[in-house]
Amino acid sequence: MPVLIWQHLDALAHSITLLGSFPEAGDTDKRLPAIIRVEKTALPASLAATLLSQSLKNVQLMENTNIYTWLLGWLEASRENPDVKINIIHPATEVHIRKYTKQDVVMVHETPALYEQIVKPYISAFPPARTQWVEDILSGKSEADKILHRAPSPEYGYVILPDMKWDLITISSLYLMAISLSSSIRSLRDLRKSHLPMLRSIRVETARIVKERWGLGEGSIRMFIHYQPSYCVYIRACPSSTIHTKYASEDHFHVHIVNANYLGLMGSTVGQAHLLDDVISLLEVDSDNIVDGTSIYERLTLTYGLGDQHGLFGPLKQAQAMISAE
């Protein structure tokens, strides 16, 4: 049984995250940190016809008025329709723990100078071993059967595959990820006009995939890029019968791909998400005549929300006073 350290309830996401510890494999006397995230699954469309007549086991009246009634209900246990999805990270690193700790968000302004002085060194300091699993997937050494599409160019190639946050069943919460093969493209700041063919290809191939596999037509998906990139990118690189959490991928530029009707997704909010279509448009109108050859994303001041558990929070928050004084 896990030893509980703290818990974080997210009512919006219908989930609870627990931090505790599990015994180390092969050494029951040694315990390592573990994060367990339990989230309610969506009700499947196939349940609609029998929900009230067969699946509803018990109800309890909460309140009613002349036209409104509120009830609590309990469903019959069903092997076909699980109640929750459980994600386990073990052993959990300090980065994982900081990511899942409840935190306050502050809006910060990242000038090009602050990027060079603070952010770029922070990203460059990530040890290669931290993202070796990403390299193995991108190179085809592991999980090759999970790839939905591969564009093989070493410099401008990418792969598309399901994100772990998706249950692979509920189309309304579809979640895929496109990851660049090149580690030289790490974030929006690294994008140039030369990357436009890659970005357009991601857009085209994603539309093809969701149409062929899930019948989703034009305008049915939202594609966006995080800045700052998330602490971790979770890739479903395993059989659907198991849960496998993979580690951070700030070293590879990636595009989030979700159903346009996927609501309540915090990562798609203003202050973090940049729509792929807008990124493409901005690069298209970027001038080719800049003397120093920098791209528009190198010249922009980017404003975004940063949680107080992020490794950049302290330095960037302190630097805001200098920006205000200018």
- Say if residue 295 carries a ligand binding annotation: no
Q: φ and ψ at 105, to 5 degrees?
A: -110, 135
- Say if residue 197 carries a ligand binding annotation: no
- Say if residue 253 carries a ligand binding annotation: yes
Q: Is 37 exposed, middle or buried (0-12, 13-18, 19+ CB in 10 A)?
A: buried
**Is residue 254 flagged as an active site residue?**
yes
- Say if residue 30 carries a ligand binding annotation: no
Half-sphere exposure of 152 (CA within 13 A, CB side): 2
In sequence order, the 6+-apart residues with CB closer than 8 A to the CB of 280 are 196, 199, 200, 203
Burial per residue of 115-144, b for 16 or more beta-carbon CB atoms within 10 angstroms, e otherwise: beebbeebbeeeeeeebebbbebbeeeebe
- Say if residue 143 carries a ligand binding annotation: yes
Please give the C-alpha separations between residue 204 and each of 125, 199, 253, 276, 281, in angstroms, as whole numbers. 34, 9, 18, 12, 15
- Say if residue 323 carries a ligand binding annotation: no
- Say if residue 90 carries a ligand binding annotation: no
- Say if residue 230 carries a ligand binding annotation: yes
- Say if residue 228 carries a ligand binding annotation: yes
- Say if residue 163 carries a ligand binding annotation: yes
- Say if residue 76 carries a ligand binding annotation: no
Q: Is 189 exposed, middle or buried (0-12, 13-18, 19+ CB in 10 A)?
A: buried
Half-sphere exposure of 33 (CA within 13 A, CB side): 13
Catalytic residue, candidates 90, 254, 274, 310: 254
Q: What letter does residue 42 receive in the DSSP assignment?
A: P
- Say if residue 108 carries a ligand binding annotation: no
- Say if residue 41 carries a ligand binding annotation: no
- Say if residue 166 carries a ligand binding annotation: no
CB atoms within 10 A of CB 265: 18
Residue stretches of the annotated binding site: 133, 143, 163, 165, 226-256
The annotated binding site for substrate is made up of 133, 143, 163, 165, 226-256
Which sequence positions are flagged as catalytic?
Answer: 254
